[in-house]
Amino acid sequence: MPGSVIQRRGLMLVLSSPSGAGKSTIARALLEREDELYLSISLTTRPPRPGEEEGRDYFFVTEDEYQKKVNDNELLEHARVFNNYYGTPRTLVERHLTAGEDVLFDIDWQGTQQLRESARDDVISIFILPPSYEELEKRLTGRGQDSEDVVSKRMAKASDEMSHWPEYDYVIVNDEIEESIQNVQAILKAERLRKMRRLGLGDFVKSIRRKG
Ligand code: 5GP
């Protein structure tokens, strides 16, 4: 067995940030560049924004449907964010992890706390910060998909969200998007190499010591 194919255990890569810090751009690039990384598609009770697709961006559900999934323990984590409910469906995530594939989560600090409580060793969390308040404001207004009222509420929320940075394993200041993407890739690469995730390491070492 060559060392390059040692079986490993999948990890949960969590990205959190205040809205507008560039998290979705980073997530999209990662999914394009990394073969063994899959996005966890959340469900939400908020209505779709223009251009969003069912099953690609979110599963859009009613509050009753959401509540039923909570009651049936079908969600790995769930939280109220702004005035809507969000949650991570359990089944697909568990399937990927068991197959030794990594799962990317775009969730808030509440969801990250819950994942950490239920699967501490498997969770790698990264908080993305905008380079400045002014830049955050510019990005939030520039997106042009939400009303002014929604934007100003999000700006107020951003400061609350950002207070949670110390709970994360890594913090990236998203000054330059390409550098931020490469930094997340570097984190992923190093975390994949941790010995506790490389299930086949013991057997591999045995095999190369055989004749020693
Ligand atoms: P948006 O409505 O702008 O897509 O997302 C709002 C916030 O909800 C973002 O910070 C996003 O990371 C968070 N979010 C999206 N899906 C989930 C989820 O399944 N669980 C939790 N806890 N937060 C989520």
CATH of the domain at 120: 3.40.50.300
What pLDDT, on a 0 to 100 scale, did the predictor assign at position 150? Answer: 78
Asked if residue 46 has its Cβ within 6 Å of ligand 1, the reply is: yes
Q: What are phi and psi of 131, to 5 degrees?
A: -70, -25
Asked if residue 61 has its Cβ within 6 Å of ligand 1, the reply is: no
Would you say residue 131 lies in a domain?
yes
Q: Are 40 and 115 in contact (CB under 8 A)?
A: no
Non-local CB neighbours of 6 within 8 Å, separated by 6+ positions? 198, 199, 200, 201, 204
pLDDT tens digit string along 86-115?
999 999 999 999 899 999 999 999 999 999
Q: What is the model's pTM?
A: 0.92
What's the total number of domains in the chain? Answer: 1
How far, in Å, CA of 172 to CA of 184, rounded?
Answer: 8
HSE on the CB side for 16, CA within 13 Å?
A: 28
In which domain, by residue range, is 99 found?
7-195
How far, in Å, CA of 102 to CA of 123, rounded?
Answer: 10
Which pairing describes strands 102-106 and 12-16: parallel, antiparallel, or unpaired? parallel
What is the CA(212)–ligand 1 centre distance, in A? 53
What pLDDT, on a 0 to 100 scale, did the predictor assign at position 82? Answer: 82
What pLDDT, on a 0 to 100 scale, did the predictor assign at position 212? Answer: 55
Asked if residue 103 has its Cβ within 6 Å of ligand 1, the reply is: no
Would you say residue 74 lies in a domain?
yes
pLDDT tens digit string along 157-177?
899 999 999 999 999 999 999
Atom of ligand 1 nearest to the CA of 112: 22
Would you say residue 201 lies in a domain?
no
Atom of ligand 1 nearest to the CA of 43: 19
Would you say residue 208 lies in a domain?
no
Average pLDDT over residues 187-194: 96
Q: Which of 94, 115, 118, 97 is nearest to 106 (CA)?
A: 115
Q: Are 140 and 45 in contact (CB under 8 A)?
A: no
Top-confidence residue, 145 or 21: 21
Q: Are 58 and 41 in contact (CB under 8 A)?
A: yes
Would you say residue 169 lies in a domain?
yes
Would you say residue 85 lies in a domain?
yes
What pLDDT, on a 0 to 100 scale, did the predictor assign at position 140? Answer: 80
What pLDDT, on a 0 to 100 scale, did the predictor assign at position 142? Answer: 65
Average pLDDT over residues 181-192: 97
Q: Are 135 and 70 in contact (CB under 8 A)?
A: no
What pLDDT, on a 0 to 100 scale, did the predictor assign at position 144? Answer: 66
Ligand 1 pocket test, pick from 49, 86, 136 with the greatest ligand atom count within 8 Å of Cβ, gives 86
Classified as helix, coil or strand, 104 is strand
Helix axis angle, 148-162 to 133-142, nearest 10°:
140
Top-confidence residue, 28 or 1: 28
Is the pLDDT reported for residue 42 higher than 70?
yes
What pLDDT, on a 0 to 100 scale, did the predictor assign at position 33? Answer: 98
Q: Tell me the percentage of the chain whose pLDDT exceeds 70.
A: 95
Top-confidence residue, 150 or 45: 45
Residue nearest to atom 14 of ligand 1 (CA): 107
Asked if residue 42 has its Cβ within 6 Å of ligand 1, the reply is: yes
How far, in Å, CA of 127 to CA of 171, rounded?
Answer: 5
Is the pLDDT reported for residue 143 higher than 80?
no
Top-confidence residue, 143 or 81: 81
What pLDDT, on a 0 to 100 scale, did the predictor assign at position 137? Answer: 85
What is the CA(83)–ligand 1 centre distance, in A? 11
Average pLDDT over residues 177-183: 98
